[in-house]
């Protein structure tokens, strides 16, 4: 079993939902558990290994059967940042005892800071995905709590692995952004390469001119020595 409260983050097109489906489906199949999901647009459970069932009201997640995995995509729409002056709603406070029912809940969002502070405090697993140069390659960062992945000092403590967008899952749900596999290199890399080439050419030109001038001076001195010897 995984952690009771998990947050999965990543920018649009960075594979957070696709990999959530893949990893949760594998876990549910392995543990013989049912998955209940909300707001995964166009999900086709028949293309997955485990049993996936859609449920309507995300605020009533605690009424679902025990020993199940609950998945909510774009969770900030339903569990967003709350005014601290407001009372803690039942759908948040129930997370404090979720393990008693043997349930696991997964919140998928672009940034963990979009979620209610209590969810972040109760989070026991934070998975963040980052796509490399819009290729199929992904970096998977795993933390033991909700973490500010955009800080270098925090990333050092992450469990870092590499994976890819799984083509087999394309079409199993309707993604908010297309997954393209064409490698796109940022313009700054081309500029950096051009600067390196220009610097190499200038260095070559300076040294070539220096050695050529030096050889010419040597050649002009030798005839003069011959004349003096005569």
Q: Which residue has 């920018």 as its token pair? A: 11
Helix (H, G, I), strand (E, B) or coil at 42: coil
The answer to whether residue 68 is domain-embedded is: yes
Residue 10 sits at φ, ψ, to 5 deg, of 160, 150
> Among 169, 193, 211, which residue terminates a domain?
169
Q: Are residues 81 and 195 in the same domain?
A: no
**Which DSSP category does 170 fall into?**
T
User: What's the alpha-carbon Rg for the chain, to the nearest Å?
Assistant: 29
Q: Strand 125-131 vs strand 5-9: parallel, antiparallel, or unpaired?
A: parallel
Q: How many domains does the chain have?
A: 2
Tell me the pLDDT of the chain (230 aa) as tens digits. 789 999 999 999 999 999 999 999 999 999 999 999 999 999 999 999 999 999 999 999 999 999 999 999 999 999 999 999 999 999 999 999 999 999 999 999 999 999 999 999 999 999 999 998 767 799 999 999 999 999 999 999 999 999 998 888 888 888 756 554 444 445 555 565 667 777 776 776 666 666 656 656 556 555 555 544 54
Q: Are residues 106 and 209 in the same domain?
A: no
Residue 35 sits at φ, ψ, to 5 deg, of -110, 130
Q: Are residues 192 and 97 in the same domain?
A: no
Residue 38: domain span: 5-169
- Beta-carbon contacts of residue 157 (< 8 Å; ≥ 6 apart): 143, 147
Q: Which residue has 């952004």 as its token pair? A: 177
The answer to whether residue 120 is domain-embedded is: yes
137 beta partners: 164
Helix H or strand E encompassing 105: strand 104-109
On the CB side of 2, how many CA atoms lie within 13 Å of its CA?
Answer: 27
């Amino acid at each position: 079993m995984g952690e009771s409260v998990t947050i999965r983050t990543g920018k649009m097109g960075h594979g957070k939902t696709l990999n959530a489906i893949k990893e949760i489906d594998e876990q549910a199949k392995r543990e013989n558990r049912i998955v209940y999901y909300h707001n995964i647009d166009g999900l086709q459970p028949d293309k997955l290994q485990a049993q996936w069932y859609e449920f309507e009201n995300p605020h009533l997640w605690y009424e679902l059967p025990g020993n199940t995995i609950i998945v909510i995509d774009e969770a900030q729409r339903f569990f967003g940042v709350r005014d601290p002056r407001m009372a803690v709603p039942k759908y948040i406070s129930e997370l404090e005892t979720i393990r008693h029912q043997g349930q696991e809940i997964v919140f998928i969002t672009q940034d963990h800071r979009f979620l209610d502070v209590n969810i972040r405090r109760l989070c026991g697993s934070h998975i963040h995905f980052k796509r490399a140069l819009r290729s199929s390659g992904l970096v998977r960062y795993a933390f033991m709590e909700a973490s500010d992945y955009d800080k270098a000092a925090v990333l050092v403590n992450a469990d870092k692995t590499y994976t890819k967008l799984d083509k087999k899952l394309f079409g199993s749900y309707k993604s908010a952004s297309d997954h393209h596999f064409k490698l796109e290199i940022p313009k700054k890399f081309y500029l950096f390469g051009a600067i390196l080439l220009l610097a190499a050419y200038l260095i070559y030109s300076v040294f070539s001119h220096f050695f050529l001038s030096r050889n010419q001076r040597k050649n002009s001195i030798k005839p003069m020595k011959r004349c003096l010897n005569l």
